[in-house]
Amino acid sequence: MPENQWKSALYESKHSFVWRYGADCLELLSPQMGDRILDLGCGTGRLAAQIAASGAIAIGIDQSPTMVAQAQQNYPDLQFEVADARNFQFAEPFDAVFSNATLHWIKEPEAVIACIWNALKPGGRFVAEFGGKGNINAIVTAINNALEAVGYPVQPELNPWYFPSIGDYSMLLEKQGFLVTYATLFARPTGLEDGENGLQNWLEMFANSFLQAIPANKRPSVIQHIENQLRPQLYRDGTWFADYQRLRIVARKE
């Protein structure tokens, strides 16, 4: 995601569900005392701090300097670095690489998987959760329809996301040499904070690449058009829900 979209304050205040749900995935990671664990896409450091609280040595990386600065401010005793998931290396290998809600932003999964492989000790584990096949289908369809309605036809290159199936992602991991030991794809409708504003906040934070493609004076009507389409399906009792499909995967470096 481009740096200008990572508004760390907005992320902390209105999108805390991103790391709150990630806590479930920490159970799969099962950090052990003394484990050296890399949190890839650490955001504001919340999950790295939970990993460290279990006695592991947690190091967080994120592509966004703003997020890393916020993480460092939140947790001055932990180590955070700005790094590109497609091109990073550490001198000392890790027992585990963990990643929550990050990998769907990177359309070059092979490069990421190669870096993770190189960062792990033999026998090390990779535990990740991110958007999988079918993720936010309803939202993406509504965005495309709304853009078409104001005269901006669908441009696939505006779509910043990679939502693989279990099969596709497992194949890439196996090609690298990983043994995939667990994989699941499940629906997790996710309530967005801030009531009626929830979907608009989400679009402005996460779907900016689409909104930026149209003149600013057309954006309010596009957002309105998106909300009108999605309201029957994704708005309940004063809350918007994102139609998330999560892919959870565990693999071991053989």
161 lies in the binding site for ligand BEZ (CB under 6 A)? yes
75 lies in the binding site for ligand BEZ (CB under 6 A)? no
104 lies in the binding site for ligand BEZ (CB under 6 A)? yes
244 lies in the binding site for ligand BEZ (CB under 6 A)? yes
Question: Toward ligand BEZ, which CB reaches closer, 169 or 206?
Answer: 206
Q: Smallest distance from the beta carbon of 11 to ligand BEZ, in angstroms?
A: 11
CA atoms within 13 A on the CB side of 126: 29
Among 45, 60, 124, 131, binds ligand BEZ (CB under 6 A): 131
Rounded to the nearest 5°, which phi and psi values hold at 158? -75, -20
8 lies in the binding site for ligand BEZ (CB under 6 A)? no
Residue nearest to ligand BEZ (CB): 131
Q: Residue 186, Cβ neighbours under 10 Å: how many?
A: 10
User: Of all helices (H) and strands (E), which one includes residue 176?
Assistant: helix 166-176
Amino acid at 40: L
Rounded to an integer, what distance in angstroms lies between the CA atom of residue 237 and that of residue 198? 13
Among 61, 101, 128, 234, binds ligand BEZ (CB under 6 A): 101
135 lies in the binding site for ligand BEZ (CB under 6 A)? yes
Among 37, 116, 136, 230, binds ligand BEZ (CB under 6 A): 136
Rounded to an integer, what distance in angstroms lies between the CA atom of residue 153 and that of residue 235? 26
Binding part of the chain for ligand BEZ, among 29-37, 74-82, 129-137, 233-241 by CB under 6 A, reads 129-137
128 lies in the binding site for ligand BEZ (CB under 6 A)? no
Rounded to an integer, what distance in angstroms lies between the CA atom of residue 71 and that of residue 207? 23
Residues that bind ligand BEZ (rule: CB under 6 A) add up to a total of 8
**Burial of 90 from C-beta contacts in 10 A (0-12 / 13-18 / 19+):** middle
Q: Residue 215, Cβ neighbours under 10 Å: how many?
A: 9
Q: Which residues are at the interface with ligand BEZ (CB under 6 A)?
A: 101, 104, 131, 135-136, 161, 206, 244
